[in-house]
Amino acid sequence: MAMKLNFDVDKLGPCKISSPLQSSHFVGDDERILYDITMKGFRKAKKLKGEPLSFEVSGPRSKIYFDPMKTRVGIVTCGGLCPGINDVIRGLVMELWYMYGVRNIVGFKYGYQGMSSNYCHEPMEMNPEMVSEIHRQGGSMLSSSRGPQDLDDMLDNLERMNVSILFAIGGDGTQRGALAIHEAAKKRNYKLAVVGIPKTIDNDLCFIEKSFGFETAFSAASESIVSAHNEAKGAPNGIGLVKLMGRNSGFIAANAALAMSYVNIVLIPEVPFKLEGGNGLLKYVEKRLLNRKHAVIVLAEGAGQELMETKGHRKQKDASGNLRLMDIGLFLKDQFNEYFKNIGMEANIKYIDPSYIIRSIPANPSDSVYCMLLAQNAVHAAMAGRSGMVVGQWNNTFTDIPIKMATMERNEIDPESQFWNNVLEATGQPSHFE
């Protein structure tokens, strides 16, 4: 990592108001969790001057910054859908209303568009009755959008509405936007607490062990793998192709493969592969069909993008400025059809893309618990005047992490890690197709 690690969280000022929480365990500002808990890290820290790297522990403080009766809170959800968004919204409203006594909560519709004067999205007044059942539904009750909006315009609107706290639920782009809002507010001397709840179904934000919705996503993906397996075994030389989410990181594909022992090949963005040649993917699948008569292949959406570029496919960008991924599933389906036709071998290929189904389903119970805990700790941090941060989890402890650190680079699978080796052992595939 090129950027120097600094896990200090910005604070709006001293906390002087007694918390309304009847807690038996308030967290002290000096409570921290180590970044590296290995013996190797311990020995390294002993040689350095000062304390080892650590994160601030999340949780309720005995003294808070904002007066709950005078505080107005805004909530916004941005980017693609993900299981658990409604759980987080519900958790925020319930914690603010019942635990802290905040009675002025608004939801901004359609992402950052709802904070801009260029659109006519009316803010939604929120209360516990409104959100009581939304955790049973998928999607986001506030809806979403992609793409940046004018920063000064959004801040002007927040100031006019007297918003003191903004919760931003979203992934990498959303959190970068939240950081920009935080930094611009500081320049104005506008006391705005900006706290992010990381929503990235790909599980690719730094220093966050698990993002909400991830477990639901790969669990639901497992059902598609079962279908692909049944289809592959239901025809001579059947190939079941399943494309899952994973723009830059293959965590969903890899975990889904580990969860279902039917998978024979996993393709992820972190491990480039070749199609042609004696050790290429096409030849490997041919051998697999000759020996076992079927194959199940799971691929992350970001895998093999460089192969399509060499075949003349052109990249485009979406509203957020991200490169729009080309469909690796359809590409591989065509490549398999052409290859087996040329060698005169029958192959029956079934392509399944469950992405939009997975993104919009309700969270499973485990993710719902995680969403509630993220929401509670986000509220604790915001009421204590923390800003420019996201809530995460590290070494089984909830932590406050500067957005700048969480977005410094993408969390990816290390091809040399034990985790990826576990996937290779489960599938039986070679470490590389080259």
Determine the angle formed by the axes of helices 365-383 and 214-233, rounding to 10 degrees: 160
Query: In b/e form, how buried is each residue of 5-43, taking b as 16+ CB within 10 angstroms?
Result: eebebbbbeebeeebebeeeeebeeeebbbbeeeeeeee
Helix, strand counts (H, E) of the chain = 14, 19
413, 251 contact by CB (below 8 A): yes
**What single-letter DSSP state applies at residue 31?**
-
Question: What is the Cα Rg of the chain in Å?
Answer: 24
Q: Which of 87, 172, 202, 367 is catalytic?
A: 202
Task: Write out the DSSP string of 401-427.
Answer: EEHHHHTSSB----TTSHHHHHHHHHH
Which amino acid is located at 366 in the chain? S
298, 256 contact by CB (below 8 A): yes
299, 267 contact by CB (below 8 A): yes
Integer Cα distance of 386 and 112 in angstroms: 21
Three-state SS sequence of 34-70: ECCCCHHHHHHHHHCCCCCCEEEECCCCCEECCCHHH
Task: Write out the DSSP string of 117-142.
Answer: TTS----EEE-HHHHTTGGGS-S-TT
Integer Cα distance of 317 and 322 in angstroms: 5
Segment (H or E) for 254: helix 251-259
The verdict on whether 172 is a catalytic residue reads no
Residues paired with 128 in a beta bridge: none
Q: In terms of DSSP bridges, do strands 165-170 and 72-77 run parallel, antiparallel, or are they unpaired?
A: parallel
Contacts of 92 (CB under 8 A, 6+ apart): 73, 75, 105, 167, 197, 375, 378, 379
**Known catalytic residues?**
202
